[in-house]
Amino acid sequence: MSTSDRRGTDDHGHDVIDPLFVAIVTVSSSRADADGTPDDPGGDTVQACFESAGHEVRERVLVRDDYAAIRSAVRGLVNRREIDVVVTTGGTGVSADDVTPEAVDSLFEREVPGFGELFRMLSWDEVGTRAMASRATAGIAADTPVFCLPGSTNACETACEELIVPEAPHLAGLATAHRAALEETTLDAYEG
């Protein structure tokens, strides 16, 4: 199923892509060093949230807490036309190893600051003042919405259920609307 087959409009006439094809990047040195299939509760939570809404997880990647590895993994995924949304879990705290925001921010063409603000607001209800230590962020990289989440299952569930899954089809549609318009213009010119 191509993107054009999944592109439509919502009740307000806004571009949407539904169902979404999603990629999940788990950032964790301890999980990356595990033998066999690593235990990845944060990534599992993100996958369950998207799949319960009818979307499809197309790729799951596990990388160490390393700037270059994170940047390379996310860059590779956003450059794949069949991936509509990328979600990272882990590496968004304030320890020296937490470099996910820096690695991914450098890929953003446009930031989506409202995501981090709303996520910390929702986190306040769950963890109180500790919410300020989260550096969860989002932006658009290569026309693809990217969300960087903490690795905890509660954080992943809150972010996905309350913010990302409801809004990602719209963000993906908006971020790629110019491509769809160009493809339509090109097709019209070819047929004319």
Q: What is the pLDDT of residues 47-101, one digit of tens each?
A: 999 999 999 999 999 999 999 999 999 999 999 999 999 999 999 999 999 999 9
Q: Which CATH code for domain 3-191?
A: 3.40.980.10
Q: How many CB atoms lie within 10 A of CB 130?
A: 11
Dist CA 22 CA 166 (whole Å):
14
Interval 103-137: pLDDT, tens: 999 999 999 999 999 999 999 999 999 999 999 99
Residue ranges of the domains in the chain? 3-191
pTM score, whole prediction: 0.91
Query: Using an 8 Å Cβ cutoff, are 24 and 51 in contact?
Result: no
Integer-rounded Cα Rg, in Å, for the chain is: 17
Dist CA 175 CA 192 (whole Å):
28
